[in-house]
A = this chain, B = another copy of it.
Amino acid sequence: MNDKKDQIAISEILSKAGVNPTAQRIAVFKYVHNESDHPTPEQVKVAVDRVFPKISLATVYNTLNALVEAGLVKAVKLPNSGKVCYDANTAKHYHFIDEKQGLLLDLDLKDIKIDLNLSTQFEVKDVDVFIKGHYSG
């Protein structure tokens, strides 16, 4: 039953963002939004397959791109591995990467203070920060 409620809530989020809430799209967004943390497209495929066995990989990619387009998720390209993952946290935030453990953790804005002293030729639109190291948690 909780599942049904989830679906309805998800459905509404998609609709409001202008994404037609098809069954496949609901399943993809539900996974990215509620059930995972920074998954790759392949992880999304595997997870959604468990409940929706015939989804095509193209649909996973199409849907993820549509969700990015609609501003519901962000694509994060990791600076070293180059792997892409999808981030349900659309608020501005930074990332901590523990490559050894394969971890990608969100860092709150307030934990990182950035002071730019750039000449006026640089019109800043966005700042990406990746902190790399070891996480012992």
Using a CB–CB distance below 8 Å, which chain A residues touch chain B?
76-80, 82, 84, 96, 107, 110-118, 121-137
Q: Report how many copies the assembly holds.
A: 2
Residue on B nearest A136 in the bound complex, by CB:
B121
Residue on B nearest A125 in the bound complex, by CB:
B133
Bound-state Cα–Cα, A131 to B136, Å: 29
CB pair A126–B132 under 8 Å, yes or no, is: yes
Chain B residues whose C-beta falls within 8 Å of the C-beta of A122 in the assembled complex: 96, 131, 133, 135
11 A-B pairs, CB-CB below 8 angstroms? Answer: A77-B78, A79-B128, A110-B117, A111-B118, A114-B129, A115-B115, A124-B131, A124-B133, A125-B133, A127-B130, A127-B131
